[in-house]
Structure 1
Amino acid sequence: MRRHRIRSVRRLVVVLLAVVATTVSLAGCMPDPPGRIGGAGVAITGLPPTPPMGWNSWNTFGCDITEELIRRQADALVESGLRDAGYRYVVVDDCWGADHRAADGSLQADPQRFPSGMAALGRYLHARGLAFGLYSGASAQTCTQYQGTYPGSTGSRGHETQDAATFADWQVDYIKYDWCSSDSDHDDQVAAFTAMRDALRATGRPIVYSINPNSGVSGSVPGTEFDWGGVATMTRATNDITPAWSTDAGPSGYQGIIDIVDAIAPLGARVAPGSFLDPDMMVVGIGDGLTAAMDRTQMSMWAMMAAPLIAGNDLTQMSAQTLATLTSPAILALDQDERVSAGRPVDDDPEIWSRAVGDKGLVVSLTNRSDYPRTMSVSLASLGLVGDERVVGVDAWTGNEYRAARGELSMPVGVADTVVLEIR
């Protein structure tokens, strides 16, 4: 029944008939943005055109991971219904590896943390209908090794061909690849990330290639500055997220939900089928710094950006509210819409975004950044719509309907909350 409901909502979103004055060109018909690194095609072929969905160990557990912990999280992903909602990738982040390579130079699992080995973990995940994700470093060290909090020097730089073959042999489906170096030379970064892309391609296995060129780089955000769409399946456009609404850290520090939304707002043209901007993992259900409204805003805006949805909460202790937020059928349908077109601010208003969906459909989000509830409005003219009596916005979260009047759609929005309107 869950799958049927999700498919039904997805079809509804796709066939939304907005009264559009001008028809927006399909995303696939738009020219590649200038300066796209790696060429016009997708980085790795054979993958779904829509954003990946899954779970990553880092935000909740950091280095405190074991084989048994990952298996428990995977089981919870299945039992909770998240897998059937689309969350398939289980990504084991940093600290899974031994502090040295094997005698033949290959990567190996930490024998205490993962005694059965990574291939066995992959088989465990695949047997449950899940996909296997793994972390590696684009430099000589992984991030925790670079920071001095984990022993060894087992990054993949200089070992790309061997490590890619190992990943393929372990039946890995997703690689998270961090830079982690103070050397931010652009040509060096391009060479490092392209080398692993080419090595993954050579295996013939369709592996999601997720890169973060920003870790360890001071005063610059290469993921924002450059379009890596031809190099990677998904590219981190910002530094790490933290469970907060906003921070004062600036672009080179930890950022909150709204900081990341604002950083990615002008970059939507880079998004295309099989090539995504990564605003970092979900912080829904993590810690005490976020309200339920803020969780909804993250889900809403990540969907408006056509971004990967990678949860990071402890799935074994997830509240019913967190589960409901993560599995909203209408929001997931928006994120996974076949058009794969990122939204953008309306009239440069950071609180109001629109996104084209399906053939001629339209979705509008309104985020209340004030510290008090208020009525928010969006003019039909700014959306290219006409005819007050014919335009209705249906909130994807609540099902509430708002009929246009006097050339506007208006509705109440709570503090730090977001209304997502399907325009009919």
Structure 2
Amino acid sequence: MIGASTLVLVSSLVVIPVARAIENGVARLPVLGYNTWNTYACNINESIILETASLMKSLGLQDAGYTHVNLDDCWAEKNRSAEGLLVPNQERFPSGFYNLTGQLHDMGFQAGIYGDSGWFTCAGYPGSFEHELTDATTYQDWGFDYLKFDNCAIPFDDIIREGTYGKYQRMADAIATLSQTSGKPPLIFSLCEWGWSQVWLWGQTVGNSWRVDGDIAANWASIASIINLASFITQGTNFYGRNDEDILEVGNGDLTYEENKSHFTAWALLKSPLLIGTDLSAASPGIIEILSNKEILAINQDPVVGTSISPFRWGLNADWTSNSSYPAQYWSGPSENGTVIMLLNTLDEPATMFFNLTESPWIRAGRQYAVRDLWTHTDNGTAVRNFTATDVPAHGVVALLLQDAGNEPAGLYPLCAVWYQCASENGTYVDGQ
């Protein structure tokens, strides 16, 4: 076991419900797009938004599926209008939002905006508490399609008189009411509640995605910690509702090339929304190539299977062990076209990673599987009973698609890939029991 702080979280008696997300007609699949916060923070304006959209088109990101451009905090004036309405910052957005969203729509994008469920946003701009329907209407009138809703400046208990669920339900109800009265699709509703693993239990009845942790940082420790937390709540993701591992930091900070690949792969295969937080004007071709990996994106956008991959073995630690530095290493899940495998080397040095195919619940015993590498984009022969990845780089990843290729070759010994309790019908055990 790695690390003295590890803690076994789940016993065999725990029954965890599967997500039943709100099917409100929008965001059946994870949102792909851009979010301004990680690169620009409060230094946003209409020129930056339109330049970012243009770069997404010219760099091929729109063609790869990234169709949202989302503003984060700091877009508003510090005070509402005399009528109680939100007002765009006149210096940063002199043309107004209706003009901005119109241009984005003309470019083939959807537009997103940011709000807060409390008195103020995290940067001190007007929040939506007790203004939910007014603000939802304003966002729709401005032409926005998506709302990220934060959790700062929470009203005192004797004012709010409800839990966090109820605080977010207020805006969910406003969005539903507005859709009914306007006849327009509801806003995509992204909860930014920093859920500490609990929000998925109720977020699925309120929104289309829900944050599972605090803000991501552009370093491996942050990414590993989020993957660790997400490994215990993968059942929270399905069509229309999903765990949100936060904005993509691909290409930011001190992340290595291999760490960038692992970060993107984990987010995509966990079916998180993929919102780029990179300065696209400075992004290298290698970073754009990572973000544009169409075989990985196809798993994220699978039209048949909406569920996330999940660990089938933790690896360095005992199964169901929480370790924020060394999360689960062996993951799998179903897809439209086969079984998805993710091998994550959490060590600080290269490693060989081995598993028996039937460790994954999505693999059938006695069958062989064609191996597709989703990063090299090559067909790598056939796996029989097991698979070994050699020299996986430090903090690196292997992403595979295994497709059933028929019965395994005859005459293989032992008669079972996994000997435990392997028996003939006359009671003879292969392992000599």
RMSD: 2.3
Structure 1 residues 355 and 58: alpha-carbon distance in aligned structure 2, compared to 1, 3 A threshold: same
Q: How far, CA to CA, are the matches of 1:405 and 1:83 in structure 2?
A: 35
Q: How far, CA to CA, are the matches of 2:153 and 2:77 in structure 1?
A: 20
Partner of 2:50: 71
Partner of 1:366: 343
| 1:392 positional shift | 3.1
Q: Could you tell me whether the CA contact under 8 Å between 2:17 and 2:235 is conserved in 1?
A: no
Q: How far, CA to CA, are the matches of 2:288 and 2:156 in structure 1?
A: 39
Q: How far, CA to CA, are the matches of 1:115 and 1:407 in structure 2?
A: 63
Q: How far, CA to CA, are the matches of 1:212 and 1:184 in structure 2?
A: 19
* Structure ID, larger Rg: 2
Q: How does 1:393-408 map to 2 (within 5 A)?
A: 393-403=371-381, 407-408=385-386
Q: How does 1:86-101 map to 2 (within 5 A)?
A: 86-101=65-80
AA aligned opposite 1:65? I
TM-score normalized with structure 1 length: 0.81
AA aligned opposite 2:348? D
1:343 aligns with 2:343: no
Partner of 2:399, secondary structure, is strand
Structure 2: give runs of 5+ residues left out of the alignment: 1-14, 180-184, 316-327, 404-433
Q: How far, CA to CA, are the matches of 2:240 and 2:21 in structure 1?
A: 9
How many residues are aligned here?
Answer: 366
1:297 aligns with 2:280: no
Partner of 2:252: 286
Partner of 2:166: 191
Q: Could you tell me whether the CA contact under 8 Å between 1:388 and 1:404 is conserved in 2?
A: no
Q: How far, CA to CA, are the matches of 2:18 and 2:306 in structure 1?
A: 21
| 1:182 positional shift | 6.1
| 1:230 positional shift | 0.8
Q: Which residue among 118, 126, 133 is the counterpart of 2:97?
A: 118
| 1:416 positional shift | 1.1
Partner of 1:381: 358
| 1:306 positional shift | 1.0
Deviates more, 1:301-310 or 1:91-100: 301-310
Q: Which residue among 33, 40, 52 is the counterpart of 1:54?
A: 33
| 1:118 positional shift | 1.3
Partner of 1:273: 239
Partner of 2:329, secondary structure, is strand
Structure in which a larger fraction of residues adopt helix: 1
Partner of 1:313, secondary structure, is coil
Q: How far, CA to CA, are the matches of 2:79 and 2:275 in structure 1?
A: 29
Partner of 1:322, secondary structure, is helix
Cα deviation digits, residues 3-46 of structure 1 (max 9, x gap) = xxxxxxxxxxxxxxxxxxxxxxxxxxxxx96497xxx5516x22
| 1:405 positional shift | 6.3
1:322 aligns with 2:302: no
Q: Could you tell me whether the CA contact under 8 Å between 1:102 and 1:108 is conserved in 2?
A: yes
Q: How far, CA to CA, are the matches of 2:259 and 2:299 in structure 1?
A: 18
Q: Could you tell me whether the CA contact under 8 Å between 1:343 and 1:353 is conserved in 2?
A: yes
| 1:194 positional shift | 0.6
Q: How far, CA to CA, are the matches of 2:104 and 2:384 in structure 1?
A: 54
Identity percentage of aligned residues? 30
Structure 1 residues 417 and 119: alpha-carbon distance in aligned structure 2, compared to 1, 3 A threshold: same
Q: How far, CA to CA, are the matches of 2:60 and 2:229 in structure 1?
A: 32
Q: How does 1:240-251 map to 2 (within 5 A)?
A: 240-246=215-221
Give the number of the structure with larger relative contact order, counting CA–CA contacts within 8 Å between residues 6 or more apart: 1
Structure 1 residues 184 and 233: alpha-carbon distance in aligned structure 2, compared to 1, 3 A threshold: farther
Partner of 2:178: 203
Cα deviation digits, residues 384-412 of structure 1 (max 9, x gap) = 53568822322100034445667310112
AA aligned opposite 1:282? L
Q: Could you tell me whether the CA contact under 8 Å between 2:175 and 2:187 is conserved in 1?
A: yes
Structure 1: give runs of 5+ residues left out of the alignment: 1-31, 146-152, 215-219, 247-255
Partner of 1:136: 115
Deviates more, 1:93-102 or 1:380-389: 380-389
Partner of 2:99, secondary structure, is helix
| 1:330 positional shift | 0.4
Q: How far, CA to CA, are the matches of 1:123 and 1:406 in structure 2?
A: 54
Q: How far, CA to CA, are the matches of 1:179 and 1:56 in structure 2?
A: 17
TM-score normalized with structure 2 length: 0.80
Q: How far, CA to CA, are the matches of 1:224 and 1:366 in structure 2?
A: 27
| 1:373 positional shift | 1.4
Cα deviation digits, residues 261-305 of structure 1 (max 9, x gap) = 110111111111110110001000113x10111111011111221
Q: Could you tell me whether the CA contact under 8 Å between 1:345 and 1:352 is conserved in 2?
A: yes
Q: How far, CA to CA, are the matches of 1:402 and 1:377 in structure 2?
A: 16
| 1:74 positional shift | 1.1
Partner of 2:33, secondary structure, is strand
